[in-house]
Amino acid sequence: MTMIRGEHLYKVFGPQARKAVDLFEQGWTRDEVKEQTGALGAVIDADIDVAEGELFVVMGLSGSGKSTLVRMINRLHDPTSGTVEIDGVNVTELDGKELRDLRAGKVSMVFQRFALFPHMTILDNAAWGLETQQVDKDERYEKARKALSTVGLDGWEANYASELSGGMQQRVGLARALATEADILLMDEPFSALDPLIKRDMQSLLIELQSELRKSIIFITHDLNEAMRLGDRIAVMKDGRIEQTGEPDEILSNPATEYVAEFVRDVDRSRVLTAANAVQDPLVTLSPDTQPRAAMVQMRDHEAPELFVTESDRTLVGAVRDDDVAEAAKRGDRTIRDVLHHDYGQTGEDTPLGHTLLDAARYTLPLAVVDEQGRLVGVIPRVTLLSALANRDVLAEDGDPDANGSGPPDAAELAAQAANDGQPVASDGQAHSRGETTTGETPAEEGAHHG
């Protein structure tokens, strides 16, 4: 059953909006209309329909009109032309009171920058949609508590948003939207402002919630991986128009326009394995000021022959081996600073992994994933690296290793080597990687071909 239906939706900002719509209907392009009237077509002739219980993703680059489109659903923006129907009710015709009731009861919203009320407690934030409906205090708080509990925020009710991390703040945003028990959630890039690890957690949370609650969701993102991971169906927007709507597979295999095809080429490659979606928490890290003996204890306790070393702000400064640390202890060094080494692979969070895989697999340490400031975000275990290396798709999509400059010069050679002995590339494989073998058909050809 259709829950949300938008037909021929237009939103034009600026002068002569009506005239601009007429011109668009006659087939003018966005630039032509802009030239002629000075008006900006933020959304042009968009049709969407979202079924009950469906998670509908709207994807597109920044400025493509996604936020404007979704704001016409609950009329934070009034459409310049076109209609929106929710559950059979024409939203475009609602008066002030009816519209407020719709927003308080039927449709709720989650925002990119969380948009929490900084002067209210978490509980009051979560209860906001009920407060506007003038639900009495006890009931309001009971429902808000339940919603907070659903998103894993028990015990934070009395805190303020500024005391919470970004991920937790967006959980509050989600709880605020869930507390009203609205059937429809509008989510405008809800996870775009979050760290990759947190983002992944939040996606998982949403998937889990959705499997239970079956809301009708419009989820906006500019992140292709996110769209593919979450969407039952995806609409791709470009310059105010919807280029294609379809299931993820359909979009991948049957791109309707050159633009979508371009998009999909990207997604296909990075979807397989990017740092962001394979990353795990580092087991444990040491501070460079750790005394060698303390470091030895740590390493023994975690049965780790090597550990990463980070400053207190998580800036990655190197790694240490147990032998070297023992030496340092014997010498009577005060800290482990003198025995740091840099024999490990390192990559940025958004880098497609293809390029760094081979390089990274040479080392015994996992691949370090760092953010723009050089802070350790997480690690990708060798197991993952090696199994990815064994997967010919990855290297098929690997592209040109020189493209981002980080491709190791001997990548093809290593791949060939891996192919030959059918063993992990690294010479001194750790216990956990020993069992892994690259499968018979190896990526050698592709690797060589691209390299």
Partner 1 sequence: MADEAFSLPRIPIGDGVDAAVSFLRTELSGFFNAVQTVFGASVEAMEWVLMLPPPLVFAAIAGLIGWRLRSWQFGAFAFVAFSVVDSMNLWDETISTLSLILIATVLAVIISLPVGVLAARNDTVSTLVRPLLDFMQTLPVLVYLIPAVLLLGIGTPGGLAATLIFALPPGVRLTELGIRTVDKEVVEAAEAFGSSRNRTLMRVQMPLALPAIMQGINQIIMLALSMVVVAGFIGAGGLGNEVVRSISRVEVGTGFEAGLAVVILAIFLDRLTSVVGQPERNKSKQDA
Ligand X SMILES: Nc1ncnc2c1ncn2[C@@H]1O[C@H](COP(=O)(O)OP(=O)(O)O)[C@@H](O)[C@H]1O
Q: By CB under 6 A, which span of 63-71, 113-121, 190-198, 302-310 interacts with ligand X?
A: 63-71
Residue 387 has which token pair? 């199994």
Query: Other C-beta atoms within 10 Å of 147: how many?
Result: 25
Q: From the list Mg ion, ligand X, partner 1, none, which binds 60 (C-beta under 5 to 8 Å, kind-based)? A: ligand X
- Collapsing DSSP to helix, strand or coil, 380 comes out as strand
Within positions 50 to 69, which residues make up the interface with Mg ion, using CB under 5 A? Answer: 67
Instruction: Work out whether 374 is an interface residue with ligand X (CB under 6 A).
Output: no
Over the window 131 to 150, marking each residue x when it contacts partner 1 by CB under 8 A and - when it does not, the resulting string is xxx-----------------
Q: With CB under 8 A, what is the number of residues at the site for partner 1?
A: 34
Among 6, 65, 82, 381, binds ligand X (CB under 6 A): 65
Instruction: Work out whether 162 is an interface residue with partner 1 (CB under 8 A).
Output: yes
Q: Supply the minimum distance, in Å, between the C-beta of residue 213 and ligand X.
A: 25
CB-nearer residue toward partner 1: 76 or 213: 76
Q: By CB under 6 A, which span of 55-63, 90-98, 255-263, 443-451 interacts with ligand X?
A: 55-63
Instruction: Work out whether 290 is an interface residue with Mg ion (CB under 5 A).
Output: no
E strands in 75-138: 81-86, 89-90, 107-110
Q: From the list partner 1, Mg ion, ligand X, none, which binds 154 (C-beta under 5 to 8 Å, kind-based)? A: none
Q: What is the DSSP letter of 247?
A: -
Among 28, 48, 50, 64, binds ligand X (CB under 6 A): 64
Among 7, 13, 329, 337, binds ligand X (CB under 6 A): 13
Nearest to 378 by CA among 432, 310, 325, 433: 310
Q: From the list partner 1, Mg ion, ligand X, none, which binds 63 (C-beta under 5 to 8 Å, kind-based)? A: ligand X
Instruction: Work out whether 169 is an interface residue with Mg ion (CB under 5 A).
Output: no
CB-nearer residue toward Mg ion: 67 or 442: 67
Q: What is the C-alpha to C-alpha distance for residues 275 and 345, in angstroms, rounded to an integer?
A: 12
> How do 216-221 and 2-13 pair as beta strands?
unpaired
Q: Supply the minimum distance, in Å, between the C-beta of residue 22 and ligand X.
A: 19
Q: Evaluate whether 380 touches 372 at the Cβ level (below 8 Å).
A: no
Q: Evaluate whether 172 touches 128 at the Cβ level (below 8 Å).
A: no
Query: Other C-beta atoms within 10 Å of 165: how many?
Result: 11
In Å, what is the CA distance from 183 to each residue of 49, 143, 180, 337?
15, 15, 9, 56
Task: List residues bridging with 376 in a β-sheet.
Answer: 370
Residues 6+ apart with CB under 8 A from 163: none
Q: Supply the minimum distance, in Å, between the C-beta of residue 412 and partner 1.
A: 45
Q: What is the DSSP letter of 366?
A: P
Q: What is the C-alpha to C-alpha distance for residues 443 and 445, in angstroms, rounded to an integer?
A: 6
Q: In the complex, which residues of this chain contact ligand X (CB under 6 A)?
A: 13, 40, 42, 60, 62-68
Q: In the complex, which residues of this chain contact Mg ion (CB under 5 A)?
A: 67
Q: In the complex, which residues of this chain contact partner 1 (CB under 8 A)?
A: 74, 76, 99-105, 108-109, 111-113, 115-119, 128-129, 131-133, 159-160, 162-165, 168, 176, 180, 186
